[in-house]
Structures are given as C-alpha cells and as structure tokens.
Amino acid sequence: MRQYAGNRIGLAVVGATLLVLGGYAWLRGHGRLLDLSRGGKVLPQDVVRPLSGDPWPLWTLALVLALLAVLCLRWLLLALGYGRRGVRAGTATAMLCVGLKSVDGLARAGVRVAPQGIRIALTCPSATDMGAVVAKLDQDIVGRIRREVGDDETGAVVRLHVRR
C-alpha cells in the first residue's frame, strides 16, 4: 500500500504546486494582488525586459512545462491503473489464496486474465520458503486457476515479489 500512498502524495504535491502557481498568475494578471496595478502584467517589468529581447527562453520554458504536463498525465494514468493488462479474476484470486493459505506473511496476491494469458502476482516476505511456494503453484494451483478462467492450454505468468 505504500506505493499507492506515494503516488497519491506525489500527485497531490505536484497538483497543489501547479494550482498555487496558476492561482498566483491569474490573480496577478487580473490586478487582484496589492503590489500590482490593474493594468499590470503577470511578470515584473525587470524580468520582462531581458525576456522580450530573445524569445528562446520563453519557448524553452513552454516546452519544459508541456513535457512536465505530459509526464504528470502519464503518472496519473498509471496510478489509476490505465495500461494494466487484463481484468481481475476474483474467483481465481480466491483459489490462489486458499491454495497458499499455509504460506505465512503472504502480503498480496492477485490474478488477472489478459488476452495473452493469465498473470499471477504474489508478494511474500523474505523469510518465506520460495521453493515450497513454487512447488505448490506448479503442482496444482496454477492448473486449477487455468481450468477456472479458461482452458488448460492457457499460458500463465507467475510473478513472485520478495519483500525485505
């Protein structure tokens, strides 16, 4: 869960920063701040003079801000789950958890069914006997999940993540 909290905190910080900067620019442009007249510009006059002579710094700033917006949008879409392959299979996940109920500290388990096959993800602590987990998966759990969601010829990819 820390990964999701980190994504949410990161998106909140970036969003709040951009909101504050945008609000400041809007207030300054409409003359609502006390230090600027009604006809004033967003940037102070001593900053505008050097920038007005050469347009490249403004184009570079616009390009950097556009790239930042695209990166933040990509980050948001990935955090929301866009681009994940397949759909969750609740019954198969339940079968996986029942089959691995003797594994101590199993933190996360999930099964997704994708057009390419089945994707199984497990997260275990480092003290877990990975040989026993793999043997259980290989003997009957993956076969049962295959029969539940498709047929025995469906390919399956198992991802084991070991936590420290």
Split at pLDDT 50, 70, 90, the class of 20 is: very high
| 76-82-84-88 Cα dihedral, nearest 10 degrees | 120
27 contacts: CB under 8 Å, gap ≥ 6: 33
| The domain over range 87-163 is classified in CATH as 3.30.70 | yes
pLDDT tens figures, 115-150: 888 888 888 888 888 888 888 888 888 888 888 887
Please check the confidence at residue 1 and state whether its pLDDT lies above 70.
Answer: no
Residue 102: what pLDDT?
Answer: 80
pLDDT tens figures, 40-52: 566 677 877 777 7
* Mean pLDDT over the full length of the chain: 80
Where along the chain do its domains lie? 2-79, 87-163
Residue 83: what pLDDT?
Answer: 65
Rounded Cα–Cα distance for residues 57 and 63 (Å): 10
The candidate with the shortest Cα–Cα distance to 104, out of 133, 78, 77, 76, is: 133
- Strands 117-125 and 156-163 turn out to be parallel
Rounded Cα–Cα distance for residues 90 and 113 (Å): 10
Q: What's the average model confidence in pLDDT over 83-93?
A: 77
Residue 39: what pLDDT?
Answer: 58
Length of the chain: 164
- Beta-ladder partners of 110: 121
